[in-house]
Structure 1
Amino acid sequence: MVRLSRAETQERNRAKVLAAARDEFAEQGFRDAKIDVIAERAELTRGAVYSNFPGKRALYFAVLAELAEQSAGAPHAVPGETLEGALGALARARVAAFPLDDEQAGLVRDLMPEVLADEHVRRPFAQLVKLNGLLLGLALERLDPPERPAGSPIPRRVRLAETVLISLHGAGQLAVTAPGLVEPFDVVSACERLAGMVFNDWWAPPVIVPTAQAADRPWSPPGAVDLVRAESFVPGDGVVVVLGTHRLAAAEEAVRASGRDVTVVAVTSDPAELVPLTRLIVAEVCGGLRQAFPGSSWPGVRVVCDATGTLAAAAGVLAVSDETEVAIRVERGRIVATADGRGAGYAVSGEVSRVDSA
């Protein structure tokens, strides 16, 4: 018999706990599920469960994140070539993931009550929803760039994206709480028709931003997983914004001002719960986005969950919190500008950067 290393044993135990927890949450729901029963199902001790997951909610979010990332979406999906086609394809991918039976509903029905019950989770959730709106809005803009009259501010499709996500989220919740009420074809048709709505949607730059500081040091980041594309990569030249889970909406400032590749590094003081929550919420939208939009229309933004803080440390951020907001600009493999505080991403980005060498 091959002897497993300690890391391999831990990974195997983690997988066993996740599988057991999925069954227990599906049968009992989050509230009534018991860690002791999960440990028994996994043929492990209670301590082995807690060595992998510090609490039941962290385990619950991890189970849902894994399911969302593994979701197959709509079968035979074809990317849309128009706004209407792409939004219809996105809606089909989302409704394909709606629970079909009591077991599937049991897994997800307690998510929103847990979000609503605790400000510690609710604030990051709200920011993640805003981030999803930005990602979908950028994809819509790439697919069909909105017209920009001379002298006007930058037009967006973020409000359209948010309206679509509101519709899909509401339909998903009703599919759980009122089985049989939601007609999937009507949801798809409604999202397609939203493509024709006109929103007075413009991006307003921040009024106050910090001064970017000149820098000249090597950029040696670790490899990471992009949640948008579900692929591994090594961050290269462009703008890297390290954002706590209370500041994720600030990613738009770097995106609009940059014109370069932007990597959003999500960090938190509670990685056990908020990292899987981030993976879950981003996967719910980006899984469908990858099916619904041609690759050329995917947003030019990468989103990374930095559970260990190693990518943030490479950017010079040695201590992170949910309020962290730090940005760097990388050129030719070197960090050439940094900024810290509200508006940091805007400060280091593109032509708007005002670098102080002092």
Structure 2
Amino acid sequence: MRLTRAQQQERTRASVLVAAAAEFAEHGYAEAKIDRIAERAELTRGAVYSNFPGKRSLYLAVLLDALPSRAAFPSRAAFPSHAPFPNRAALPGQASAPPADVAEAAEAFARIWLERLPLTGDSAAAARFRSLSVTGVFDDQAGRAVQSELLRLETLLLALRLEGSRPRADRRVRLAELILTLLNGADHLAQTAAGFGDPFEVARACRYLAAMEGADEWDPPHLPYIPPAQPCQEEWSPPAEMTDAIIDGPVSMHGDGIVVILGSRRLGAAEEAVRAARPGDLITVAAVTADPAETGALVRLRVTDLAGCLQRVFGPAGMPVRVILDENGLLAASAGVNAAEDTEAAVRIRAGKIIARAIGRGAGHAAAVASRPGLAPTEEDVNE
């Protein structure tokens, strides 16, 4: 049967991904060659570039392709301290009991996250590949800025899940920050000093961090100077459905709530909207970029990977925050916002209309405190 053009392109793309995975695992990102990838796939160099604009976009596509399917995940996976250290091949046999408290949740998350650690016998290239590492891939200033903002977003998402483990008034963002600092440090050591450290001990250390957590201090100096959101009455006509990366499923965009549109270098500002939101507010974070093939792929890789880890520990239930990877800028355009790396804008939606709009630094905070048209931030809002 003769293949259609689309089918042939998909087959070519799949062949390139398989060949590239072998090349990156053997030689690492820096030493990998597009010519060798083409030769492995029995294709021309031009066929590779017709599917991927460059080596960096191809590497990110390979890492995305390596992520496990969410469909294979059990509803929850919390591991007792005596359980064997899990690996992705053992997914169907994982326990299904939810974490009993935040300490158990922290350890269960760490155990899942640490599966990526390379094995002692792995080569340096294989170790980085197994860890989903982008070391040496985004080493310019702009790339480091994006990774910093991604860590801030990941910290917020983990904190929201930890808060749900034992509800109480204060936040757990600083705890989540410490946990991710410890885990990323363990990953770096595993790549550069094979065999050093015990992942069981690292996971238990995350439990201890949760047990001795301190106050969640948060006092950005710019908050008192954020201009209030501008009241308006504009029609809200978003795409009917978009994919929430947290649950890996479609969600309607027509409900009430706050939509925060953030470029890849402003993703950490999602925390401002979350902290200022009122109980019951649904916050949608739309991550936008002017470079979907590379920066957008990096954001997708990191958010999808973290969301998968969270699902395996806490289950597929949603959070008060949705993350839309708006790589084509459709959601941003419906809010009248241009997609760029430094974009920071927010709107509050009510009854099918945009009732408040904010642009610039602190936009998410301003839209969150604008609970009705014309309401400016109060002293209580700023200090909340």
1:213 alignment partner in structure 2: 231
Aligned 8 A contact 1:215 1:338 in 2: no
1:329 alignment partner in structure 2: 348
Mapped partners of 2:154, 2:207: distance in 1: 18
Higher relative contact order (CA 8 A, sep 6+): 1
CA drift of 1:2 comes to 4.7
Q: 1:312 is matched with which residue: 324, 328, 332?
A: 332
1:272 alignment partner in structure 2: 293
Mapped partners of 1:77, 1:214: distance in 2: 50
Which consecutive unaligned segments of at least 5 residues does structure 2 have? 74-87, 376-384
Sort the Cα spacing of 1:42 and 1:142 in 2 relative to 1 into closer, same or farther, 3 A.
same
Mapped partners of 1:160, 1:22: distance in 2: 35
CA drift of 1:325 comes to 0.8
Which consecutive unaligned segments of at least 5 residues does structure 1 have? 148-154
Question: Does residue 135 of structure 2 align to residue 136 of structure 1?
Answer: no
Residues 111-165 of structure 1, C-alpha deviations (whole Å, 9 max, x = no match): 22333x3112110000000000011111112222334xxxxxxx32101001001
Sort the Cα spacing of 1:310 and 1:67 in 2 relative to 1 into closer, same or farther, 3 A.
same
**Which deviates further from its counterpart, 30-39 or 219-228?**
219-228
Mapped partners of 2:273, 2:194: distance in 1: 42
CA drift of 1:245 comes to 0.8
CA drift of 1:106 comes to 4.7
Alignment of 1:1-358 (within 5 A): 1-4=1-4, 6-68=5-67, 70=69, 73=88, 75=91, 76-78=94-96, 79-100=98-119, 101-102=121-122, 104-107=126-129, 111-115=134-138, 117-147=139-169, 155-204=170-219, 206-210=223-227, 211-237=229-255, 238-259=257-278, 260-295=281-316, 299-317=319-337, 319-350=338-369, 355=374
Could you say what secondary structure the match of 1:335 adopts? strand
Residues 157-179 of structure 1, C-alpha deviations (whole Å, 9 max, x = no match): 10100100111111112222222
Amino acid at match of 1:208: Y
Residues 198-225 of structure 1, C-alpha deviations (whole Å, 9 max, x = no match): 3221344722223323122132325322
Mapped partners of 1:274, 1:262: distance in 2: 23
CA drift of 1:13 comes to 2.5
Aligned 8 A contact 2:238 2:331 in 1: no
Could you say what secondary structure the match of 2:175 adopts? helix
Aligned 8 A contact 1:346 1:352 in 2: no
Could you say what secondary structure the match of 1:225 adopts? strand
Could you say what secondary structure the match of 1:213 adopts? strand
What value does the CA root-mean-square deviation take over the aligned residues?
2.3
Residues 46-68 of structure 1, C-alpha deviations (whole Å, 9 max, x = no match): 12221222111121122223323
Aligned 8 A contact 2:232 2:373 in 1: no
Percent identity over paired residues: 45
Mapped partners of 1:229, 1:83: distance in 2: 21
Residues 242-281 of structure 1, C-alpha deviations (whole Å, 9 max, x = no match): 1011111111122222231111111112221111111222
1:151 alignment partner in structure 2: none
- Give aligned pairs, total: 345
Mapped partners of 2:191, 2:211: distance in 1: 29
Mapped partners of 2:101, 2:330: distance in 1: 40
Mapped partners of 1:61, 1:3: distance in 2: 27
Sort the Cα spacing of 1:99 and 1:199 in 2 relative to 1 into closer, same or farther, 3 A.
same
